[in-house]
Structure 1
Amino acid sequence: MNMHALFLGFLVILGFIQSQAALVRYTFVVQETNYTRLCSTKKILTVNGQYPGPTISARRGDTVIVDVVNQASQNITIHWHGVKLPRYPWSDGPEFITQCPIQPGSRFSQKIILSDEEGTLWWHAHSDWSRATVHGLLVVSPKIGTTFPFPKPHAEVPVILGEWWKNDIQTVMEDFLRSGGDPAISDALTINGQPGDQYNCSAPATTKVKVEQGKTYMLRMVNAAMNNIMFVAIANHQLTVVGTDGAYTKPLKTNYVAISPGQTIDLLLEANQPRNRYYLEAKFYNSNPRSLFDNTTTTAIIEYINGNYNASATPFSPLLPTFNDRNASANFTSSLRSLASSAHPIDVPLEITRKLLYTLSINRLPCATCVGRDNRFAASINNITFDTPRTSILGAYYRGMNGVYGDDFPDNPPFIFNYTSDSLNTSLQTPMDGTEVKILKYNDTVELVFQGTNVVSGIDHPMHLHGYSFYVVGSGFGNFDRQRDPLNYNLVDPPLQQTIAVPQNGWTAIRFRANNPGVWFMHCHFERHVSWGMEMVFIVRNGKSADTRMLPPPPDMPKC
């Protein structure tokens, strides 16, 4: 064999190895598992018997196959939060939006196609309220041969924020829907599944992170809680934000973090303090005191190696913003900036073809069966409370089935009023009911302004869009002014996110290019608001060329 042929053979083998390395496979077995927290034991839904669930590790551009095997007694779907799945919405996961649920005793092999995501993402159940315990990290590392746009940290540490109910979560959801009011508040907040030593029976299992003085650690943080934004801080330590929602940011030094349900944040922790023990604390932020919420604090312990301290002494505590400090939440969120470097460029749409204004409201509907009340809470986008069908919208769209959804979701609210007024007519409280979608053409450039309202009661709304990242170009309190507010947009280095907290009685403007054909869900990531109907669907049409058209479904799609 001559050297040329040998070299070509080497390239073929090398290419084969690289292509094989780009395919990662996991098995997720969904099952009921006994777990003990807060002095009591209950059966919870888990993946592979773990709570939180296993971490998926991949590199930018990889394809991950996850074989989901349902050995539980209830339906399940899994969503890969923050993954765009280019041209392949079949694996996205929201129940009755892109798929029918995986029924007990069945399985579904989900193909997760990674594209430009890099950093911390996560996965979670997207059926009923099962994401309370069915969730875990999805870590996307840089490609081989590249690295972080900051000095490589000594170690990476997961920080998964969550909630724990002593009661069965399915029962919590069913009681909440039956009552027509708010859900029962959780019994504890958690860090990596542990409530922390400020709760009874929890001290021995409190999450501990051992650090070495002089070294830097990356905290991969996700808010997996069901119903509230969280404030997080570490005593005596400043944190540096370097990424959010699978995209890098300009380094932002901060004494606290405000993180929405669904959002991920990458943080650098410099172990530069005396060798002692320090609390990492998290508590809920709630801008509306009339809304029930867990007002406790969960803790983990940052523990310096070779420290000279009393292990039984209480660690130092950080100073967190007050629970209802909406300025602290909004100021942190609006301080994020894209890295916008030559190695990590951004592409903010400047010429807009579709301008949308979507109001986000809490509503009321008559209820003859609600115990002790004659109405129940609802929620809406542009005054439409979403009515979830009993079959997949994606399947209906792909097969041209009629009668499953309408395509008349409005570009603007059906009527204009002072959205954030302290005194609103009660006639505004009753929404319409429907399964309407918004149709976008391939390559439409979209500006969407979320407008919070004070109908019934104003509150923050963490809005999440499937299938896309978007640029957050502006935000503010009060009513959005179409003439004035765009003059202050950040079109230079806005953060690239998939989940954004719209401030209480305020607005947030996002921009994205509709270049991912398919059916894509958008909803508030407060689970109670989803249950009340604060959700809608975008359908992005195919482009003209073969590589701009939606791919066909896999053969094992679950059936309804």
Structure 2
Amino acid sequence: MSFQPLLGFLLILSSIYSQAAVLKYTFVVQETNYTRLCSTKNLLTVNGQFPGPTITAHRGDTVIVDVINRGDQNITIHWHGVKQPRYPWSDGPEFVTQCPIQPGANFSQKVLLSDEEGTLWWHAHSDWSRASIHGLIVILPRLGTTYPFPQPDEQVPVVLGEWWQSDIRTVTENFIRGGGDPANSDALTINGQPGDLYNCSNTGTTKIKVEQGKTYMLRMVNAAMNNLMFLAVANHTLTVVGTDGAYTKPFSSNYITISPGQTLDILLVANQSPNNRYYMAAKLYNGQPASRFDPTTTTAIIEYAESSTPPVFPDLPAFNDRNASFNFTRRLRSLASTQHPIDVPLNIKKTLFYTLSINAIPCPANQTCEAIRNTSRFAASINNITFGMPSTSILGAYYRGMNGVYGNDFPDVPPLKFNYTQASGLNVSLRLPEVATKVKMLKHNETVEVVFQGTNLVAGIDHPMHLHGHSFYVVGSGFGNYERSRDSLTYNLVDPPHMQTIAVPQNGWTAIRFKADNPGN
């Protein structure tokens, strides 16, 4: 199966003397009729495609995307993993870096590629519309250079996602109104298709045709809303060579773990019998009981030739195998070669310790709530602060010098120190967060270390963390409570992975480092 961009691009500027180019795409946001799982519904898409079109460029190129909003809701597009150096205006988060694109309007978003190389992705950054508005960004090596591994014969997009029978806006409005968990998706998907383990999905199952002896690069993203996934291909070994737009030291595994928003570049060698078919299968990873999430499995089929034999199913870790998830992620290492150097900050000027919690806010007397025996609303917090959306945008308040919209005193450490990962018996009062609009100010070129500490308030889960405008080095991680005197000694400062998204392990911690060299909100 040959990997081709789903939307042709116009080369605006090119020269044999220059390796950079300006490319142009058009994204039309619109309602499209789709049939999945025995039913048909309208879906908000880009160019009528689910997943959306792939953007293909070379390292260092500039991409202009004309976004035309023919839908009936505000839209912005975020280029997940693209740093946008000194140009945050097209980054996507509504009311933080830009105003949303209103229905009937259009906006040209400039995407400035810098040192990214590999696979990234784009998605809507307004409410949960990203459930169907998303697609890949493929960043090829600069012209005249090549991959730091043998050239794959072909490239295959693998977009992991979710499908709801209900309108996604209804799902969003219901959990915001009630304050409980979002409704489980009705299916997981690979390239928009649930696979033949679901009813009415046999004919639409994604099929990837391969030839024996060839090597295929799987360009993979987890576009699911909240959930990590395990994925494997029956009888095939997967070799990881990149993540989040940066190359890694190659390593082989029988399965992969991928967090929401993360991308992986994976080599698959077609070295099995050409007379058989093999499932690519993905299921959710969740440290909570199975009743708390959708336990079903999505499949695609690896086909060497036309065959009627039943596909072989791969071995996947148990849905709650946190060690399998943790151990896979710990194997990621930067390539750290002469051609692909890294620059890990060693002299840290700003140290931040951030607790990540699920909290419970008491239900107002005049409302019906759905969390914790219907007496409260769930809320996420960092350092016990859950974000309060202001009536005036932070972007507008910042540039107009408006007082009272937000505070610039977001704390460097949590307000209370306790046994964050205690198995049970944590004081109920710790669940109540402060609702506030606070930001963290960093100095230009300041070197920063952030330790993310998961807590067991309400429930301990894996927390996928993504930083806009910067990649970061994941220098350490572990289970339990972080202790600097002990855990900083185990840091990898030689070849830590250079990432954009990292899942902080359930009731554990992760330390990242970056240089604040990209001004903006």
Q: TM-score, normalised by structure 1?
A: 0.88
In 2: Cα distance, 1:271 partner to 1:20 partner: 33
Alignment CA distance shift 1:355-1:135 (3 Å)? same
Q: Which amino acid aligns with 1:383?
A: N
Q: Which amino acid aligns with 1:232?
A: L
Q: Deviations over 1:89-132 (max 9, x none)?
A: 11110122112211101111110000000000000001010000
Counterpart-to-counterpart distance in 2, 1:314 and 1:431: 52
- Map 1:230-309; keep pairs closer than 5 Å: 230-275=229-274, 276-289=276-289, 292-305=292-305
Q: Is the 8 A contact 1:394 1:518 kept in 2?
A: no
Q: Is the 8 A contact 2:19 2:142 kept in 1?
A: no
Residues 20 and 65 of structure 1: CA distance in aligned 2, closer, same or farther (over 3 Å): farther
Letter in 2 for 1:380: S
Q: In the aligned structure 2, how far is the partner of 1:439 from the partner of 1:164?
A: 38
Please give the alpha-carbon distance, in whole angstroms, between the structure 2 residues aligned to 1:300 and 1:15: 38
- Retained in 1: the 8 A contact 2:369–2:377? no
Q: Distance in 2 between matches of 1:380 and 1:452?
A: 11
Structure 1 SS opposite 2:441: strand
Structure 1 position 371, deviation (Å): 4.5
CA distance in 2, matches of 1:15, 1:67: 20
1:283 alignment partner AA: K
Task: Please state how far the C-alpha of 1:35 moved relative to its aligned partner.
Answer: 0.5
Describe the SS at the equivalent of 1:104. coil
The one of 324, 328, 332 aligned to 1:332: 328
TM-fit CA distance, 1:389 = 2.6
Deviation at 1:390, TM superposition (A): 3.9
**In structure 1, what residue type is equivalent to 2:494?**
V
Render the CA deviation track for 1:504-548: whole Å, top value 9, x for unaligned: 0000000001111111xxxxxxxxxxxxxxxxxxxxxxxxxxxxx
Residue 176 of structure 1, CA deviation: 1.1
The CA RMSD measured in Å over matched residues stands at 1.4
Which secondary structure does the structure 2 equivalent of 1:203 belong to?
coil
Find 2:446's aligned residue among 444, 448, 452: 444
Match of 2:357 among 357, 361, 365: 361
Shift in CA distance, 88/128, structure 1 to aligned 2, threshold 3 Å: same
How far apart in 2 are the matches of 1:264 and 1:434? 32
Q: Which gives a bigger RCO, structure 1 or 2 (Cα 8 Å, sep 6+)?
A: 1
Determine the structure 1 residue equivalent to 2:368.
370
State the distance in 1 between where 2:478 and 2:225 align. Answer: 25
Q: Does 1:28 align with 2:27?
A: yes
C-alpha separation in 2, matches of 1:394 and 1:352: 28
After superposition, where does 1:423-442 map in structure 2 within 5 Å? 423-442=425-444
- In structure 1, C-alpha distance between the alignment counterparts of 2:228 and 2:354, rounded to whole Å: 21
Q: Match of 2:295, as an amino acid?
A: N
Contact in 2 for aligned 1:241/1:268 (Cα 8 Å) = yes
* Distance in 1 (alpha carbons) for counterparts of 2:140 and 2:277: 30
Counterpart of 1:528 in structure 2 is none
SS at match of 1:316: coil
2:344 aligned with 1:343: no
Q: Give the conservation status (yes or no) of the 8 Å contact 2:39–2:165.
A: yes
C-alpha distance in structure 2 between counterparts of 1:278 and 1:454, whole Å: 39
**Separation of aligned partners in 2, 1:274 and 1:391:** 61
How many angstroms apart in 2 are the aligned matches of 1:26 and 1:89? 19
C-alpha distance in 1 between matches for 2:368 and 2:466: 30
Q: Is the 8 A contact 2:14 2:22 kept in 1?
A: no
Contact 1:96 1:390 in 2 (8 A): no
Distance 1:81 1:338 in 2: 19
Q: Which amino acid counterpart does residue 507 of structure 1 have in structure 2?
A: W
Query: Is the 8 Å Cα contact of residues 352 and 446 (structure 1) preserved in structure 2?
Result: yes
- Give the Cα separation in 2 of the matches to 1:17 and 1:343: 22
SS of the residue corresponding to residue 331 of structure 1 reads helix
Name the counterpart of 2:73.
Answer: 74
Residues 361-400 of structure 1: CA deviation (Å, up to 9, x unaligned): 0000011312562211111000000112344323332332
2:21 partner amino acid: A
Distance (Å, rounded) in 2 between the aligned partners of 1:88 and 1:37: 39
Q: CA 1:322/1:20 → structure 2, altered by over 3 Å: closer, same or farther?
A: closer
Alpha-carbon contact 1:34-1:41 (below 8 Å) kept: yes
Distance 2:209 2:389 in 1: 46
For 1:31 and 1:18, how far apart are their aligned partners in 2?
Answer: 40
**CA distances 1:338-378 after superposition (whole Å, capped 9, x unpaired):** 00000000000000000100000000001131256221111
CA contact (8 A) 2:29 2:71 kept: yes
CA drift of 1:503 comes to 0.3
**Number of the residue aligned with 1:466:** 468
Secondary structure, aligned partner of 2:485: coil
Q: Which amino acid aligns with 1:182?
A: D
Q: Is the 8 A contact 2:118 2:140 kept in 1?
A: yes
* Cα separation, 1, equivalents of 2:375 and 2:280: 44
CA offsets per residue over residues 473-508 of structure 1, 9 Å max, x none?
A: 000000000101000100000000010010000000
CA distance in 2 between counterparts of 1:256 and 1:138 reads 23
Counterpart of 1:538?
Answer: none
What is the distance in 2 between the residues matched to 1:518 and 1:435? Answer: 18
C-alpha contact (below 8 Å) 1:233/1:320 kept by paired residues: yes
CA shift, 1:404, in A, is 2.4
- Decide whether the 8 Å contact of 2:180 with 2:369 is kept in 1: no
Aligned residue for 1:191?
Answer: 190
CA contact (8 A) 1:38 1:199 kept: yes
Match of 2:52? 53
Partner of 1:417 in structure 2?
Answer: 418
Kept in 1: contact 2:213–2:269 (CA 8 A): yes
Whether the 8 Å contact between 1:25 and 1:65 is mirrored in structure 2 is yes
Q: Which amino acid letter does the alignment assign opposite residue 240 of structure 1?
A: T
1:214 counterpart residue number? 213
CA distance in 2, matches of 1:333, 1:21: 33
Residue 494 (structure 1) aligns with? 496
Is residue 14–residue 21 contact of structure 2 (8 Å, CA) maintained in 1?
Answer: no
Whole-angstrom distance in 1 between the partners of 2:116 and 2:266: 17
Deviations 1:31-65 (A, max 9, x none): 01111000100001000111100000111001100
CA distance in 1, matches of 2:501, 2:238: 21
Mapped partners of 2:203, 2:139: distance in 1: 32
TM-score by length of 2: 0.94
Identity %, equivalent residues: 74
2:279 partner letter: Y
Q: How far off is 1:183 after superposition?
A: 1.1
1:200: which partner in 2? 199
How many angstroms apart in 2 are the aligned matches of 1:405 and 1:141? 40
Q: Check 1:15–1:377 CA distance in 2 against 1; reply closer, same or farther (3 A cut).
A: closer
CA-to-aligned-CA distance 1:132-167 (integer Å, 9 cap, x gap): 000000110000000000011000000000000000
Instruction: Check conservation: 1:52, 1:133, Cα contact below 8 A.
Output: yes
Amino acid at match of 1:279: Y
CA distance change for structure 1 residues 105 and 247 in 2, over 3 Å: closer, same or farther?
same
CA shift at 1:19, angstroms? 5.5
**Residue type at the aligned position of 2:196:** D
Unaligned segments of structure 1, at least 5 residues: 1-13, 520-560
Letter in 1 for 2:433: P
- Aligned counterparts, 1:374-393, within 5 A: 374-393=375-394
